[in-house]
Structure 1
């Protein structure tokens, strides 16, 4: 399909008729449409959608009719049309499509007709113009560009989103690559229980009158077929649920792998708490030592200076050395009076022992203060030394207490910091609990799937047995035999088409994945690749690790992935092998609105080098600032260039 021209008449910002003719030059296949914000870039793209399908996807629900024209209508009361005309070529045939919507004034308000009018013509080989009947127009548009495929070729960056999340991606890819024809063949042949299918019509034409066994067998396998379809539907739903939960399990496991930081923080916090408990115990010991020293030795410490002064005074005193510690004069008198010394010597008045004892009394209290001073000096010296050691002990204990308190304060700050950091991180336990729940759901769904598969196997056997009974009893007439032969042919064709469809899908999926990765590697400058599953859903995985894992995507990376997918799709649509029953391969144009808005300069350059070589026709609707990044790569391929000159909020002139 090649688009030659579009005409916009009173469509949104574009008052009166304004025309864009598109480049069809193979060497300069780009038509460039430049415009600033709110100048009508998206309106151009939506004009194609409305022209083809009568649907427009604007963010605001304003009327399609130009606002200035609407104001004039309130004065003139004249009817006015919104109109889009598209001229295109498809499989060497020129088509002219026009869609219009009439607006009129009623009760002082502008009203639009309930439905738009559509007209389509084509040019015959002899140059004559032929009308396509109105009731056939939408079918013809669907043949040229099916509506569910339009989003891939009329690409709106802001509204397209992520190709991974597209629910209709399977049917879209099948439609572009011709697989829908095979699906339609399978539906057309159908099953015996579907009355409008080939097999259903053959079976309903069989003569069952008078044949009870055949009738009963038919009813049994008909019910079994219906139940089989229900089981297959439930089985598909369960598989989808399991796939979704399995994906969630993978995501949760990835989260847990990423929570190493949380585990490290928790380990560091546990270490700090253990150190805090040690410091608390050490503080208690230091405090007890301090209190004990203060309680027992304080009198010695407080009397220390007095003892020092007393000792200084006594330093020069002439203290005799004859006194006996703890001995006094009264004890000597008792010995004399007793007459016998403690050593057993007899003491009597006048003998030597008596003389010595009388001499000793002179040096004992209360007769001698020297003895008392001697004893005081000894005790004062002991107290003085105890006082000196007391201060050192008390000082060391206080320093220990201070150090403990300082370390505890630092540890409190560190523990609080770790708590704050942990609050920012996810809880490992929370994710582990969720993972266990998800794994349980996957296991339960797997059990359900096993039971459904078991029931499906039993149903298939029952259907096979009942069909055999039915066919054996149905051979009542030549007509029945003829129909049974047709049914056998239809079943053989159905089996062949189904097998061929499955093989084609597998081959095309591999071809598409290869092409998409080829374009992705040219557009992206990192270590990732694209995977496409059996449902043609697209995901990115990193190749920078030993194990390939799915990765998050920025808007820029999402854009690159989308373009790579579309490029691969367009390329495969051009190159796919053709079979007689499939539609002919057709080149598709790419009409891109704001294609570079989410990509960085390097990716814009890479994308720009790929797109013109993929699409036979490329129409770029971009802002001037975004075009600057792509200009060097694309300017030589621009065949036509337009500028959306915004005159006011309600009027833009295409120049």
Structure 2
């Protein structure tokens, strides 16, 4: 999608009906520049497109209910409108939204333009959402302040990625499937009211699943709060590192290193604890059987054979004596005699083949138990020693961190003390939330166990009813779909996260003056890291550069997904990137870099610039990419007096952006190129 032109009629600062901007749709010269001082109409132009398409505004747009130009109202004109003409998939469309002051309401009309003929489209909102889905719009129509708020409480990188990937549709599908599943479970309860055990199990299952979901929602909220607090903590840490107190800077760096070492030791400790549990799972029962195995070997070797005829005098020997009626000593053994009876009784105690085989197996098994028990004790002792060593190291590091923090607190600097108070407050809240989260995760684990138990109980008592069986089967398959959908979202999200990080790194490698790379954490926050893995403190300019690079990566990702055939996620979109006040706190080098990579990574780029943003290297860097250029002229009824003319130099020509003694208060559009 590319915007061809926009027409503003009596909308906000734009008086009368001939306020038209033709945007560049050229593939090479894909940039449209609009120059204006603050308060003249840059933000209005950005918001006019957002309002025309979705009847919404950016958060910083003031007086949202005052849309009709003030001078127009004085002249009796009580309506305003915005028309946006755009190209999409080789066709031309027009979207017009009109606002009536009397009713304070607006209505939208969308047309397909065919050889100058305007053909109305009934499904106007559906068409606009297919061009730029509403949840993606805020990443294409961006205010500079919005860019600087990325990775804050208002906007998160994770939400941006999920919006551009079209997760809203998938999440809504998952919610709908949950509702359907619950409805089916309710139907089973109704159809099987007489089956008390099954009904009880199903009721308890529904309750357990509801409790699990409630806890998962709480877990998500706590993780989000922790994410915001962690960002605030990093911001405070950066401010302490960047403060001009040298001792504080060095101490804080040492604290960072000690905390990283402590984190590594904690990870090692967790690994050793898991190793210890694994040893218990594998060998634990053998330890309890160790003493039994020793006693068993003694019993087998000394007592088992007591009263038995020693090998080879076993069952075969006894039978041979009886059949020959003659003892091995030569004495006669006749049937019915006392000798015969005594020898027959020996059969009850004679060694058989089975007895000998079982004795050998028992001896072997007892020996194995004893050997593995000794191995377990050795490995368990090694693991315990490692755990004790790690606990001592962690304790030493905690003591070191405590001492370093005490040194930091003793530094007599007012600004540093205020930062430390804020840091401690954030750390306390993080600790409190982490404790709550740990308890909640244990509760979630118990809930999962309870859900599985209740499922087994429900299956055990499920009535042998055809209808109930079919509903239960549907519940089973819809749960499989829910699980598949959640896994698909997670996989796609992680894949896109790394693709975006790689693209941002490409930009930073070319243009950043520092040798660092971007790493996206598990909570979807970008961190700048050195080669040794240490986190880099970001300046305000670097934060803005990073966020602009991220938004460019988002737009590239959306364009790459515009032809996606996924039946699961919404396809991406190709749309103009419109930025109001993009360069903010960037220095000259970073402005030049941004002027280079923004046009390269946008199909159509519209920059709304004040003269302070235009000065310096921006014009020289971007001039070969500019296809259209305008200046917004501020008209004032008042006399000039000491007020400035707000002169701007473009291609060597001086243009006054403020005109005085005019017939109206408002803005007009001057085309430069």
TM-score, length basis structure 1: 0.65
Describe how 1:213-612 pairs up with structure 2 within 5 A: 213-243=197-227, 261=247, 422-424=412-414, 426=416, 431=420, 442-539=430-527, 541=528, 543=530, 546=532, 548-554=534-540, 556-576=541-561, 578-581=564-567, 582-612=569-599
Match of 2:110 in 1: 120
Match of 2:47 in 1: 46
Match of 2:186 in 1: 204
Match of 2:87 in 1: 89
Query: Structure 1's 514 and 263: CA in aligned 2 closer, same or farther, altered over 3 A?
Result: closer
> SS where residue 654 of structure 1 aligns?
strand
- Tell me if 1:155 matches 2:156: no
Query: Structure 1's 421 and 444: CA in aligned 2 closer, same or farther, altered over 3 A?
Result: closer
Query: Structure 1's 219 and 129: CA in aligned 2 closer, same or farther, altered over 3 A?
Result: farther
CA distance in 1 between counterparts of 2:611 and 2:166 reads 38
Deviation at 1:263, TM superposition (A): 10
CA deviation vs aligned residue, 1:129-167 (integer Å, no higher than 9, x gap): 55344xx54454344334443332112214543212153
Structure showing greater Rg? 1
Q: Higher mean Cα deviation, 530-539 or 215-224?
A: 530-539
Deviation at 1:442, TM superposition (A): 4.8
Query: Structure 1's 177 and 520: CA in aligned 2 closer, same or farther, altered over 3 A?
Result: farther
Deviation at 1:217, TM superposition (A): 0.9
Match of 1:171 in 2: 159
Deviation at 1:91, TM superposition (A): 4.2
> SS where residue 578 of structure 2 aligns?
strand
Q: Higher mean Cα deviation, 581-590 or 180-189?
A: 180-189
Match of 2:5 in 1: 5
> SS where residue 626 of structure 1 aligns?
helix
Task: List alignment gaps of at least 5 residues for structure 1.
Answer: 74-78, 104-111, 191-196, 266-419
- Tell me if 1:634 matches 2:622: yes
CA distance in 2 between counterparts of 1:444 and 1:62 reads 43
Query: Structure 1's 21 and 497: CA in aligned 2 closer, same or farther, altered over 3 A?
Result: same
> SS where residue 16 of structure 1 aligns?
coil
CA distance in 1 between counterparts of 2:620 and 2:233 reads 46
- 2:578 and 2:607 in contact (8 A); partners too: yes
Deviation at 1:100, TM superposition (A): 1.2
Match of 1:616 in 2: 603
Deviation at 1:615, TM superposition (A): 0.7
CA deviation vs aligned residue, 1:566-622 (integer Å, no higher than 9, x gap): 111111222249343133332121112222343222222111111111111111222
CA distance in 2 between counterparts of 1:637 and 1:250 reads 38
- Tell me if 1:141 matches 2:141: no
> SS where residue 225 of structure 1 aligns?
helix
Match of 2:669 in 1: 654
Query: Structure 1's 127 and 480: CA in aligned 2 closer, same or farther, altered over 3 A?
Result: farther
Describe how 1:30-69 pairs up with structure 2 within 5 A: 30-56=31-57, 57-59=60-62, 63-69=66-72
Deviation at 1:14, TM superposition (A): 1.6
CA distance in 2 between counterparts of 1:590 and 1:508 reads 20
CA distance in 2 between counterparts of 1:58 and 1:252 reads 29
Query: Structure 1's 48 and 471: CA in aligned 2 closer, same or farther, altered over 3 A?
Result: same
CA deviation vs aligned residue, 1:54-83 (integer Å, no higher than 9, x gap): 23443456832222212222xxxxx53110
- 2:24 and 2:32 in contact (8 A); partners too: yes
Query: Structure 1's 574 and 468: CA in aligned 2 closer, same or farther, altered over 3 A?
Result: same
CA distance in 2 between counterparts of 1:251 and 1:560 reads 16
Query: Structure 1's 28 and 263: CA in aligned 2 closer, same or farther, altered over 3 A?
Result: closer
- 1:35 and 1:41 in contact (8 A); partners too: yes
Query: Structure 1's 542 and 220: CA in aligned 2 closer, same or farther, altered over 3 A?
Result: closer
CA distance in 2 between counterparts of 1:441 and 1:632 reads 49
Deviation at 1:98, TM superposition (A): 1.2
Query: Structure 1's 44 and 165: CA in aligned 2 closer, same or farther, altered over 3 A?
Result: same
- 1:122 and 1:132 in contact (8 A); partners too: yes
CA distance in 1 between counterparts of 2:149 and 2:119 reads 41
Deviation at 1:523, TM superposition (A): 3.8
Deviation at 1:248, TM superposition (A): 6.2
CA distance in 2 between counterparts of 1:156 and 1:254 reads 25
CA distance in 2 between counterparts of 1:252 and 1:631 reads 36
Deviation at 1:624, TM superposition (A): 4.7
Query: Structure 1's 489 and 70: CA in aligned 2 closer, same or farther, altered over 3 A?
Result: same
- 2:575 and 2:603 in contact (8 A); partners too: yes
The size of the alignment, in residue pairs, is 474
- 2:46 and 2:580 in contact (8 A); partners too: yes
Describe how 1:66-85 pairs up with structure 2 within 5 A: 66-73=69-76, 79-85=77-83
Query: Structure 1's 455 and 36: CA in aligned 2 closer, same or farther, altered over 3 A?
Result: closer
- 1:163 and 1:537 in contact (8 A); partners too: no
> SS where residue 559 of structure 1 aligns?
helix
CA distance in 2 between counterparts of 1:35 and 1:255 reads 34
Query: Structure 1's 212 and 94: CA in aligned 2 closer, same or farther, altered over 3 A?
Result: farther
Deviation at 1:647, TM superposition (A): 3.2
> SS where residue 566 of structure 2 aligns?
coil
Deviation at 1:564, TM superposition (A): 0.6
Deviation at 1:180, TM superposition (A): 3.3
CA deviation vs aligned residue, 1:92-139 (integer Å, no higher than 9, x gap): 454321111123xxxxxxxx5232222223458x99855344xx5445
CA distance in 2 between counterparts of 1:188 and 1:163 reads 30
